[in-house]
Amino acid sequence: MHQVADVLIDKISQLGSNPNPNDIDPIADEVLKSTGSQVPTGDEVEVTVTGKEERVIVLTGLEVFVQTKKELTGHTMEFPMGCGAGVPPRLFDVNLDERKPNFTLRKSTDPEEKSIDFPYKVSSGEPEVLLLVSQSHEYVEWKARLLWVADGKEGHTDITNKGESFVTFPGGAWSDLPADYKFSPFDLKLTTGRDE
């Protein structure tokens, strides 16, 4: 883990004293690939759904399919990445440690926001953004499926990571288990996950 952090420190320090998060993300991707590290791609999956032309689509549900589940080997490191803004998403949680995991709508704590579960209507002018948040105490590979109805016909769309499974393991952004290490790209420090 220290080797990965050393490479990150070397590359990010070349950006100067106030690096832009958008410049850090590509460096992190390059370092992770070159060191054989793996990113938990399934901690937070954003899905934007829009209709085609004037056609209205009714989203009716989400399903999750666990492909692989095994004990996590090695160490984990939390590394904050940049984030975007746009249409406020509807958050759906899934605990992949459950025997039959399924997505559940996260209720909003904001009294101005309505936490409305399926079904949702979407069209070309009114997209819907879903944020799928997963957790596990193990290494889990998974895929999801969005169920819908259009013109009276039921259908589904598979949600994958460019055709591959998403990966979730402890220590990610939404995990209730801390990572073994935390790396701060802004002050270039590596601490243990229990340090504050």
Say what the pLDDT of residue 85 is.
52
Which pTM does this prediction carry?
0.77
- Ranges of the chain whose pLDDT falls below 50: 194-196
Say what the pLDDT of residue 56 is.
83
Give the number of other CB atoms < 10 A from CB of residue 48. Answer: 12
Handedness of CA 193, 69, 90, 117 (dihedral sign): negative
Percent of the chain at pLDDT exceeding 90: 31
Distances (CA, A) of 148 to 92, 103, 118, 129, 137: 16, 15, 10, 15, 31
Q: What is the pLDDT of residues 109-154, one digit of tens each?
A: 776 666 778 998 888 778 888 999 999 988 999 999 999 999 889 9
Domain borders along the chain are 40-177
Say what the pLDDT of residue 67 is.
95
Say what the pLDDT of residue 117 is.
87
- Measured distance CA(132)–CA(110) in Å, rounded: 19
